[in-house]
């Protein structure tokens, strides 16, 4: 307990005034908007050029920048310009709910503070509204995906986009290999950790007004493998995979291992679990996470270049259950990664759709007759979800069939989740989670 409190104090020591932090955020947003730079790169560069800033300052500035990106289109609409300054002012009003006098007091022109508000900015703050904004502006989404979002959400479009524009909660998954959720909640009581609404292994840790949470990655319980930081939606997708002890399971797109660790924990290390990923660099962090968590997973790292070979060839036609946590546009994670929505291009959606067909075809060859395929994305776009499943069903000529995903493993989920043609869709508005899609299939012959 004492260790955790001490760590928090160190990381949140403020050096910059709130106004100076806003000036920094404006500068960084200008860099992102004008040079189309990834937010993480622009923030890193600012940090390198301003080494005196404390980690608390950096976190607060990052929070301002990410809130600005969440409301980039709507804030620019209200303020009549798409500059770092306009987006920041509009965001303080729309996202943080600050009134015009409070914003004016932050923009006081003092040393390191932004220039005072102009008359036009004051008027726009008082009178500006999103009443006549087009849906993609009011909902802060790129215009080219609007037809797909409309197809996904129908009449709920505006509400769903609003929810995707809010901040994500800070969720952890308790590692059942180490302790119960109750024991973890007791150990994290000083952080206010409380059970998440749906996942039986989830705890939610309160964040501050600016969205910042405690430094969980240096928490003693985390370092002992007691929990992983994982959105409740990702936890639910792992549960819906239906893994059972005694099965041979493949996590085909394991990445850093978020779901592989969850599957090992859910089966009490009772399954033979094999994890791989096309990209060895994405897979690399899994080793340290396995060591910490006590999860037993056979990791198969592919070679690249000339020695490249299929590391799963020996398993073809034998696997009981394959999890395909497919590469996707991540449209369901816009709350967490608002930069991604403005970096999304039609070409990247087409590339992800092609990769999805590739991983689905590979998974279909792995599964034994009667075995199960579980296809997961963190996207809400039908092209990456039902259409991808339809594609595999058609290509398989009847060998792969769609089956209902068993929702009974998560009490209360069935009433909240949306059924699509082939699977189920979670979303911030429906389930309070990231936008995960899950579809289940079986090999008939
Ligand atoms: C959504 S991420 C996986 C996240 C991970 N399962 C987790 O829970 O932390 C998708 C992964 O698919 C991998 N991938 C892309 N194409 C692939 C392919 N053809 N075969 C296997 N993995 C692939 C990417 O490298 C990426 O790590």
Residue 315, ligand 1, Cβ within 6 A: no
Pocket test for ligand 1, best of 239, 282, 356, 364 (most atoms within 8 A of CB): 282
Residue 422 lies in a domain: yes
Of 16, 266, 366, 378, catalytic? 378
Q: Are residues 91 and 180 in the same domain?
A: no
Tell me, yes or no, if 253 is annotated catalytic. Answer: no
Q: Residue 218 half-sphere exposure, CB side, CA atoms within 13 Å? A: 13
Q: What is the DSSP letter of 302?
A: P
Nearest residue CA, atom 13 of ligand 1?
253
Q: Which of 225, 237, 185 is nearest to 206 (CA)?
A: 185
Residue 58, ligand 1, Cβ within 6 A: no
Q: Say what the pLDDT of residue 6 is.
A: 44
The dihedral over CA atoms of 283, 284, 285, 290, expressed in degrees to the nearest 10, equals 80
Residue 165 lies in a domain: no
Q: Say what the pLDDT of residue 346 is.
A: 93
Q: Are residues 242 and 189 in the same domain?
A: no
Q: Say what the pLDDT of residue 212 is.
A: 84
Q: Are residues 185 and 320 in the same domain?
A: no
- Per-position DSSP letters for 181-224, written without gaps between them: HHHHHHHTGGGT-EE-SS-TTEEEE---TTS----GGG-HHHHT
- Element (H or E) spanning 340, and its range? helix 338-343
Quickly tell me which residue has 């067909």 as its tokens.
357
Residue 281 lies in a domain: yes
Residue 144 lies in a domain: no
Mean pLDDT per block of 10 residues along the chain (445 residues) reads 46 78 98 95 96 90 97 98 98 95 95 96 94 96 97 97 96 97 97 98 93 91 97 98 98 98 98 97 97 98 80 97 98 96 95 98 98 98 98 98 97 97 98 98 96
Domain that holds residue 202: 170-229
Q: Are residues 308 and 383 in the same domain?
A: yes
Number of domains in the chain: 3
Residue 150 lies in a domain: no
Residue 161 lies in a domain: no
Q: What is the CATH number of the domain that holds 341?
A: 3.40.50.150
Q: Are residues 303 and 431 in the same domain?
A: yes
Q: Which of 411, 394, 401, 333 is nearest to 373 (CA)?
A: 401
**Does the ipTM surpass 0.90?**
yes
Q: Say what the pLDDT of residue 8 is.
A: 47
Tokens found for residue 268: 């009490």
- Of ligand 1's atoms, which has the minimum distance to the CA of residue 238? 8
Residue 367 lies in a domain: yes
Q: Are residues 193 and 97 in the same domain?
A: no
Task: Kindly report the pTM of this predicted structure.
Answer: 0.94
Q: What is the CATH number of the domain that holds 93?
A: 1.10.940
Q: List CB contacts of 51: < 8 A, sequence separation 6 or more.
A: none
For residue 356, how far is its CA from the centre of ligand 1 (angstroms)?
10
Q: Categorise residue 330: left if φ over 0, alpha if ψ from -120 to 50, beta otherwise.
A: left
Nearest residue CA, atom 18 of ligand 1?
278
For residue 125, how far is its CA from the centre of ligand 1 (angstroms)?
44
Residue 434, ligand 1, Cβ within 6 A: no
Find out whether 277 is annotated in a ligand binding site: yes
Find out whether 320 is annotated in a ligand binding site: no
């Amino acid at each position: 307990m004492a260790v955790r409190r001490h760590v928090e104090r160190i990381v949140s020591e403020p050096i910059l005034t709130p106004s100076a932090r806003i000036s920094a955020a404006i500068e960084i947003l200008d860099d992102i908007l004008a040079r189309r730079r990834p937010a993480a790169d622009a923030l890193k560069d600012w940090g390198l050029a301003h080494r005196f800033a404390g980690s608390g300052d950096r976190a607060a500035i990052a929070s301002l920048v990410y809130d600005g990106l969440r409301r980039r289109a709507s804030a620019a609409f209200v303020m009549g310009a798409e500059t770092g300054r306009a987006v920041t002012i509009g965001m303080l009003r729309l996202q943080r709910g600050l009134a015009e006098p409070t914003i004016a007091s932050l923009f006081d022109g003092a040393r390191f503070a932004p220039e005072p508000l102009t008359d036009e900015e004051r008027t726009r703050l008082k009178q500006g509204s999103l009443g006549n904004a087009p849906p993609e502006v009011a909902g802060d989404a790129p215009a080219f995906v609007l037809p797909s979002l409309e197809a996904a959400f129908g009449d709920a479009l505006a509400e769903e986009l609003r929810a995707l524009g809010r901040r994500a909660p800070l969720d952890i998954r308790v590692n059942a290999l180490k302790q119960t959720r109750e024991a973890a909640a007791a150990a994290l009581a000083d952080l206010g950790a409380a059970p998440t609404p749906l996942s039986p292994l989830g705890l939610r840790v309160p964040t501050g007004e600016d969205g910042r949470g405690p430094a969980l990655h240096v928490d003693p319980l985390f370092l002992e493998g007691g929990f992983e930081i994982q959105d409740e939606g990702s936890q639910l997708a792992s549960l819906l995979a239906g893994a059972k002890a005694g099965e041979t399971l493949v996590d085909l797109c394991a990445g850093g291992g978020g779901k592989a660790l969850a599957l090992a924990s859910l089966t009490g290390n009772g399954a033979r679990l094999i994890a791989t990923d096309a990209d060895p660099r994405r897979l690399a962090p899994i080793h340290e996470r396995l060591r910490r968590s006590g999860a037993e997973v056979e990791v198969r790292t592919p070679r690249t270049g000339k020695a490249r070979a299929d590391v799963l060839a020996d398993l073809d036609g034998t696997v009981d259950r394959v999890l395909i946590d497919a590469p996707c546009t991540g449209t369901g994670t816009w709350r967490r990664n608002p930069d991604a929505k403005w970096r999304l291009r039609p070409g990247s959606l087409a590339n992800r759709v092609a990769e999805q067909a590739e991983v689905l075809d590979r998974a279909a060859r792995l599964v034994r007759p009667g075995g199960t395929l579980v296809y997961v994305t963190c996207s809400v776009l039908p092209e990456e979800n039902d259409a991808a499943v339809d594609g595999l069903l058609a290509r398989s000529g009847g060998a792969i069939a769609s089956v209902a995903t068993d929702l009974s493993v998560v009490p209360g989920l069935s009433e909240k989740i949306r059924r699509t043609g082939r699977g189920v869709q979670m979303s911030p508005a429906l389930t309070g989670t990231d936008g995960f899609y899950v579809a289940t299939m079986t090999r008939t012959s």
